Amino acid sequence: MSRSKHWRLALAAAPVLLAGCAAGPDYSRPSVDVPVSWKVEAPWRESTPNDGTPKGPWWQRFGDSQLDALERRAMEGNATLAAAG
């Protein structure tokens, strides 16, 4: 295809493509009822996350000695951690 054909094709397609972006003259935004404030009803309650407290290694929460050993082996054999340290 020659350059002039590309330009003609682009000019012919432009109005069609731009027409697809129009929302229409009669568009009106739908109204949505939004509460002024959120009320927590039973049995739900507001949470109080305690993210700042130290929790230790996550795997120790399971109390599994085999998992502890696997984690220890994974940390000792991790080349990325060894290179960073």
pLDDT tens-digit readout, 31-63: 999 888 888 888 888 888 888 888 889 899 899
Q: CA dihedral defined by 11, 16, 21, 22, rounded to 10 degrees? A: 120
What is the rounded CA–CA span in Å between residue 64 and residue 15? 67
User: pLDDT value at position 21?
Assistant: 67
User: pLDDT value at position 68?
Assistant: 94
Share of the chain above pLDDT 90, in %: 18
Question: What pTM was computed for the model?
Answer: 0.37
CB half-sphere exposure, 65, CA atoms < 13 A: 0
Whether residue 15 has a cis bond before it, omega within 30° of 0: no
pLDDT digits (tens, 9 = 90+) for 10-29: 777 777 777 766 666 777 88
Spatial contact of 43 and 37, defined as CB atoms under 8 Å apart: no
User: pLDDT value at position 70?
Assistant: 93
